[in-house]
Amino acid sequence: RSISERAMGPQDVDAILEEQESAGDDARSISERAIGPQDVDAVLEEQESGEDVVKGDERVCIVDCDEMVDGCGAMDEVDGLTHQSNDADEDARKAAEAASEKSSNSSENEDLEMAEQATDRIGVQFKGIGDSTNVDPFVSQTRGEDRTHSNVSNAFSRRDACNDTEQRTSYAAVHEEAFLAASNEIDRYLLSAVQYIEEWDRIVNTRIQGRIIECRRLKSNLCRYEHKVTVLQAKAGVVESFAASPTGRRPKAHQRLQRNELKLSGAREAYDSYSEGLFLLVEEITERGWMDFFPVLLKVSRFDVRHSSANASIMSRLSGVVDALDDIRERHELCASGRLDSLRNGRPEELFSGPKRVNHRVRRVVHDA
């Protein structure tokens, strides 16, 4: 029974035992049916010599057997240490895992075949474009062999490597790389230049607008004192009236006039000084603003130099695309200048470039009455 359990599992042995009890076969016939008569003899000899050791609920069996290979009598030496538990639940779990692994392997093989078929179609469509060797990298060299996880990973890694190589030499990939390089240079130079211009504009506008507002306030203050002094002078009268005063004191109107004249003088001086500063600032910004523009021109020039050199290096790879297009033109007998004249005036039968088709027409015979 232990021999049969190792080969088939306890549940299968129980089922066979029930069948054999009704037929009258012994346990040896069951074991021979499971693993073969020669293996049963070898295991029985080992059991008699005491190589099977029972420990608790586990049986440790050391078995050396020869297995028949390809039905031609060649024997391969197999040495193994097998640990088997007598618990029926554990055996059932192992059987379920084996079944699931078998199904997963079959599904993986199917996925691999589908992936290879898809990559073959892609390789046929894009064969020769951007690759001077015209070798289809997607055709598998190991069709019909047993695939494993390593085969799958190697196949897809080779396909990805070929895709990367073709993408780097394709027209779209070259322009995409040029765009990314230009974007990096823009972030490094042009954005800083734009930020400098925006900051300069903000500072200049704030400074000039503030000066203009303050200058208007000082101008309004100056006009107010000028008007006030004019009114006080009219009220004060003639200057000789001061000497005719019996007390010798100046009237209050004259005192107010003197105070406002002092204020008028201060307001005029403040306005002249501040307005002069405003005029100097505006002249400096308008007449010598090229000094502020110098950093912008320097950054833009550096961007042009770096971008032109990098773009020339990247665009030089388009020569491979041109060569591939020349091969396509020769292979399909295309015209480099296009076929506008053929589209305009050519006959459809001559213009058609697809596969030739045989048109089977059904002739109807009309019988006269």
State pLDDT tens for residues 78-131. Answer: 344 344 444 545 665 676 676 566 555 555 555 556 655 655 554 444 444 444
State mean pLDDT over 304-311: 87
**Do 121 and 229 share a domain, yes or no?**
no
Mean pLDDT (whole number) for 201-223: 94
Q: With 60 as the cut, is the pLDDT of residue 5 above it? A: yes
Q: Which domain range does residue 66 map to?
A: 2-86
If pLDDT is split at 50, 70 and 90, which confidence band does 333 have? confident
97 domain residue, yes or no: no
Same domain, 191 and 153: no
pLDDT above 90: residue 6: no
pLDDT above 60: residue 44: yes
Same domain membership, residue 186 and residue 162:
no
Confidence class for position 72, pLDDT limits 50, 70, 90? very low
| 256 and 189 within one domain | yes
- The whole-chain average pLDDT of the chain stands at 69
On whether both 194 and 303 belong to a single domain, the answer is yes
Q: Residue 64: what pLDDT? A: 40
Q: Rounded to the nearest 5°, which phi and psi values hold at 220?
A: -65, -40
- The answer to whether position 91 is within a domain reads no
Spatial separation of the C-alpha atoms in residues 313 and 310, rounded to whole Å: 5
Rg over CA atoms, the chain: 51
Does 130 map to a domain?
yes
According to the model, what pLDDT value does residue 192 have? 84
Residues 302, 216 within the same domain:
yes
Q: Is the pLDDT of residue 362 over 50?
A: no
261-296 pLDDT per residue, tens: 899 999 999 999 999 999 999 999 999 989 999 999
% of the chain exceeding 90 in pLDDT: 18
pLDDT(63) > 50: no
Q: Give the contacts of 79 (CB within 8 A, at least 6 positions apart).
A: 64
For the chain, the domain total comes to: 3
30 or 267: which leads in pLDDT? 267
Identify whether 21 is part of a domain: yes
* Residue 303: HSE in the Cβ half-sphere, 13 Å Cα cutoff: 20
Domain boundary residue, one of 86, 121, 152: 86
Residues 66 and 139 in one domain: no
* Phi (first) and psi of residue 64, to 5 degrees: -115, 115
Burial annotation 258-278 (CB, 10 A radius, 16+ → b, else e): eebeebbeebeebbeebbeeb
Q: Which of 208, 218, 207 shows the shortest CA–CA distance to 269?
A: 218
Establish if 338 belongs to a structural domain. no
Nearest residue to 212 (alpha-carbon basis) of 292, 284, 282: 282
| Whether residues 116 and 143 fall in one domain | yes
| Residue 201 CB coordination number (10 Å) | 10
